[in-house]
Chains A and B, each alone.
Chain A
Amino acid sequence: MIKKLLTCSSLLFHMLIYAQEMVVISDTTSENYRKSQMSYNEGIQYLQNKQFQQAIDAFTQSIQLVANFDKAYVNRANAFYELRDFKSARSDLKTAIELNPNNENAYQLRGDIYMAENKNDKAKNDYKKSLELNPNNAHCLYNLGVISFIEQDYSAAIEYFTNTIKVKPDHAYAYNDRAGAKRESGDLDGALQDYNQAIKLDNKLSFAYNNRGTVKRRKGDFKGAIDDYTKAINLKPDYYIAYNNRGSAKFDSGDYDGAIADFTQAIKLKSDYAFAYNNRAAAKFKLKDYRGSISDCNEAIRLDPNYGYAYLNRGTAREMLREFDKACQDWQKASELGVTNASKFLLDCN
């Protein structure tokens, strides 16, 4: 936009409006314009230095000098976004888009904001608008994939991630996420291939190892799964999710003591991790430590009073202690919380 104005300036002559001593100059060659640009550039510098409030001030100054400076609005929105002031950011982007409906970045950033606000429908619209302006915008393609994934439209997600990869073949995240979408679609082999590629592109992605571990676990390759979870943990020693998953893989392979050690570590890393308590309860059950199992289920339920699986498992442990009435109460509660298996368990309560 500025460029255009500058071009036009050679054709236009200056306009001088006398207002007593004040003269307002809206000429692109004017000093105000120059100062606006300087503030704008300063703002960018602040933005890059993560001095967001200073950036906002600089962009504001720039906008005050040249009210139709759409890029300044976009960048100020960036700073607002960083300060999590989404409302102000969206307001600036609205103005930027009004000033320049072809501002690809404004749509993209507003899409990001909507995503952060979980307004995925609106985010999707903006990303698509941005893609109309630039079909090769990998960021928008990827985020559309993410939204589709969240909406459980895995085929759409796979398509978006595939397009992301076409635009940016080294997009490790797109490979990781496409793997997830394939996994959820039941294509474990395809998922495994994508995780392999994600890891090949970036062997520091702890979550990719973790995710691949789960695919291997689902394929029955418990050893491979445990190896991958271990790599994830090595990369991220506080990765409680990987500990929980490794514990589950050990559980699957019958190593209940090992499973308990991992679940315990997960709890150590995240003291309110209801999943790990529930899972440890299952491992203790396998070791016939039914009271320990109940104790862990109690903790899981305390952390999440609507945790259906914990009720289900507690009931099963109680059954083994011959506390049949209590077991049935737990299964009933689990059933009420939507655990489908519970209704089968309740058949034994007649």
Chain B
Amino acid sequence: MKNGVITLFFLFITFSLFSQNKEFTKEFFPNDKEGLKAANAAIKEGDKLYMEGEHKYPFALNYYLTAQNFNPDNAELNYKIGICYYHSSFKVKCFEHFKKAFDLKPNISSDIRFYLARGYHLKAEWDKAIAEYNAAKSTLNTKEDADKLAQIPKLIQECNHGKELEKKPVRVFIDNIGTAINTKFPEYGPIISADESVMYFTSRRDNTTGGKMDEYLGGYYEDIYVSYKQNGKWTPAQNIGAPINTPEHDATISLFPDGQKMFIYKDDKGDGNIYETSLVGNTWTKPQKVDKVINTSSHESSACLSPDGKTLYFVSTRPDLSIGGRDIFVSTKDEKGRWMKPVNIGSTINTPYNEESVFLHPDGKTLYFSSQGHNSMGGYDIFKTVNNNGIWSKPENLGWPINTPDDDVFFVLSASGRRGYYSSFRADGHGEKDIYTITFLGPEKPLQLNNEDNLIASLVAPVRTTVIEPKVEVAKAKTTILKGTITDAITQKVLEAEIELIDNVKNQTLAVFKSNAATGKYLVSLPSGKNYGIAVKAEGYLFHSENFDLPDTAEYNEVIKDIQLKNVAVGSKIILRNIFFDFGKYTLRPESTNELQRLIKLLNDIPSMRIEISGHTDNRGSAELNQKLSENRAKAVVDYLVANGISPSRLEYKGYGKDQPVATNDTEAGRQENRRTEFKILSR
């Protein structure tokens, strides 16, 4: 904590020291008398020049900077340095010095806040500038600073314009045109041929004609230089020499689209006039002053011709026709080719403020010019206006970052409209004003992104809807397959026998088949739900009967039944399987009819044959009852036969009860077998 307090203390002391205004006195520099002396001497020399006026500020600045190196914390010196910079090409540098001067001594001057605002303005810090302009209103001296006070509303307006324009910057590249053209000296006023193959410009470099310096403005006199574009690059600039360039100021104004004529500016001892020169071969003719209708005793500084050469646009300060300050004027040629009296181009373009550097695009209808009015963001801004059927459109600010809070002038544009050239003082320059290329990128080119979605769910996450046909209930095979081989009981010879299928209940023949003659095999399908009688017959054999009583519920079954047919021989026995009685009774059931009729047919077929009908039971129940029942059943058959015309003499009957089983009595199937009616051939 203690350490913290000490640190804060030192910070405070340090801050106080930094923010303390240091006078150039021995109290502040007790140990460097020589340095102090030299600094004071520099200030004294600087002040002399400073007092001579604005044009001497660059010279004063050099002395002031020497003193500044010795003592950077003097409010007054910083203020003066700020003023010098403010009136130089390096305007923006004024800010740090005004700021320091204000920080060191807020009341250093009544106009310090105004200049601080100008600094912010030049730095395009719009809101801070506006705040300082407003603050300056109460600090400026109403008499001495009246001109500054008068400027403030316009300057605030410029800041507001700047804020708006900066929000929508134009898409341009602003590139220093390079060292082939630019030097540490000022270069400005570029003019180009329509095809951009040649550029003329003004420079105040150290090899200008005469090599003299302008004592009033400072710097070398202006000369015109030329550079050519070869293989996409500008060649090193050359001074175009006499007769264009003289020891006085000779500056570019405009070049005709074909590059064969040029307007140049000559100072004419402050008068400022427009001259015309033509290119003959490789030589420019001696410049001729343009008609006195154009050039007046006022200052004419800029001019350009319409593509047909019949209309001249120029800038003049002539007061008789001016809306305010420098204005743009128009003159046309009469029938004899003389310039007629110019007229002001009009208040759509000209403002109460200055207009400068007029340039008519090769399209003949788009005029570019610089103006301090309209919605300038500070100093001269470049505007364009289009002439539609003789009416100029409302000038349009070329926008940020082409225009800046400082002066933006001498703009020319290629015929394609793709590139412009102008001079500007920028951080990436070579020291003074340089010529820059403006490449117009056109409207914003939107970037194209690609996206995709999964709009159709089933394509991204397929859900297989399987339409499987449902299972079926497997049909119960309610069929009994009866198959086997039919042979002769004695010889085992296969027989082609007739198989008669009878519905015993309905007493109907359902079908008649034959066994295979070659194999004796047969197969009969018996759907459940019937009481089947099966009679197997073959010529010369006793018929063979089988019974299959298959209820509806009877499941699939296969029965192999080999049948041996017996000859019609004495002693042969045939079981009559389709003769039925009710349980425990001896009354023939109707289902027996078919079998009985078959037996009757057999007896009729062999009239001599005598047979015994015998009844048999299983071993259940008493023997006596079984015997009685079997006998009664045999008698019932005989009675039926007799009733159907068979002689009783041919028939015998007997009940054997359980005594002659043909199968085991231990199973139901066996017992079923044993319960039967037979006949036996007694004689034939």
Contacts and interface: CB of A to CB of B under 8 A. Distances in A.
Given A18-B516, A29-B479, A347-B442, A210 B468 contact: no
A44 B468 contact: yes
Interface string B410-451: 000000101000000000000000000001111101111111
A322 B173 contact: yes
Contact of B466 (A13, A31, A78, A248): A78
B523 A23 contact: yes
Given A20-B516, A41-B472, A207-B460, A244 B452 contact: yes
A74 B467 CA distance: 8
B527 A350 contact: no
A322 B232 CA distance: 13
A41 B471 contact: yes
Nearest to B474: A37
A16 interface: yes
A207 B457 contact: yes
Interface string B374-385: 000000000000
Contact of A109 (B455, B467, B478): B467
B648 to A, nearest CB: 41
Contact of A183 (B448, B455, B527): B455
B475 A29 contact: yes
Contact of A29 (B439, B457, B477): B477
A34 interface: yes
B456 interface: yes
Contacts of A31: 477, 479, 481, 556
Given A41-B474, A177-B456, A245 B527 contact: no
B168 to A, nearest CB: 17
Contacts of B476: 34
A332 interface: no
A236 to B, nearest CB: 10
Interface in A7-61: 13-14, 16, 18, 20-21, 23, 25, 27-31, 33-34, 37-38, 40-41, 44, 47-48
B463 interface: yes
B475 A241 contact: no
Interface string B637-677: 00000000000000000000000000000000000000000
5 contacts: A23-B523, A71-B472, A173-B457, A285-B447, A341-B445
Contacts of A341: 445-446, 448
B-side interface size class: 35 or more
Given A146-B456, A177-B458, 10 more contacts: A16-B523, A31-B556, A108-B467, A183-B455, A205-B461, A207-B461, A244-B451, A316-B447, A344-B443, A350-B418
Contacts of B447: 282, 285-286, 313, 316
Contacts of A198: 457
Contact of A28 (B440, B445, B475): B475
Contact of A345 (B445, B449, B460): B445
Contacts of B511: 16
B475 A205 contact: no
Given A75-B469, A282-B447, A25 B456 contact: no
A347 B445 CA distance: 11
A207 B416 CA distance: 50
Interface of B: 173, 175, 416, 418, 439-443, 445-461, 463, 465-479, 481, 510-511, 513, 516, 519, 521, 523-525, 527, 556
Which has the most chain A C-beta neighbours within 10 Å: B439, B441, B455, B459? B455
A142 interface: yes
A112 B478 CA distance: 40
B29 to A, nearest CB: 48
A105 B469 contact: yes
A114 interface: no
Nearest to A138: B465
**Top 4 A-B pairs, shortest CB-CB distance:** A180-B455, A71-B469, A207-B454, A173-B457
Given A34-B474, A285-B447, A211 B468 contact: no
Given A75-B468, A279-B450, A312-B448, A29 B478 contact: yes
B467 A142 contact: no
Given A48-B468, A71-B472, A208 B449 contact: no
Interface string A143-187: 100100110000000000000000000001100110111011000
Contacts of B468: 44, 47-48, 75, 78
A38 B471 contact: no
Contacts of B516: 18, 20-21
A54 to B, nearest CB: 15
A16 B474 contact: no
B264 to A, nearest CB: 31
B565 to A, nearest CB: 20
A261 interface: no
B452 A275 contact: yes
A21 B521 contact: yes
A316 B445 contact: yes
A339 interface: yes
A275 B474 contact: no
Contacts of A142: 458
Contacts of A47: 466, 468
Nearest to B478: A29
A222 interface: no
A13 to B, nearest CB: 7
Contact of B467 (A33, A78, A313): A78
A216 B145 CA distance: 59
Interface string A180-222: 1101100000000000001000000101101100100000000
Nearest to A212: B453
Contacts of B477: 29-31, 34
Contacts of A180: 453, 455-456
A230 interface: no
Nearest to B514: A18
A210 B454 contact: yes
Interface in A76-99: 78
A244 B450 CA distance: 9
A122 interface: no
A319 interface: yes
Contacts of B471: 40-41, 44
A285 B444 CA distance: 13
Contacts of A248: 449, 451
Contacts of B556: 31, 34
Contacts of A274: 450
Contact of B475 (A6, A23, A183, A312): A6
A16 B475 contact: no
Contact of A309 (B418, B450, B455, B479): B450
A203 to B, nearest CB: 14
A319 B439 CA distance: 10
Contacts of B461: 205, 207
A2 B523 contact: no
B479 A30 contact: yes
A245 B451 contact: yes
B457 A205 contact: yes
Nearest to A174: B457
B445 A2 contact: no
A291 interface: no
A13 B474 contact: no
A268 B221 CA distance: 65
Contacts of A179: 455
B456 to A, nearest CB: 6
B453 A211 contact: yes
A16 B525 contact: yes
A335 interface: no
A18 B512 CA distance: 13
A211 B457 CA distance: 10
Contacts of A251: 449
Nearest to B481: A31
Contacts of A78: 466-468
Contact of B455 (A44, A177, A316, A348): A177
B453 A241 contact: yes
Nearest to B446: A341
A105 B467 contact: yes
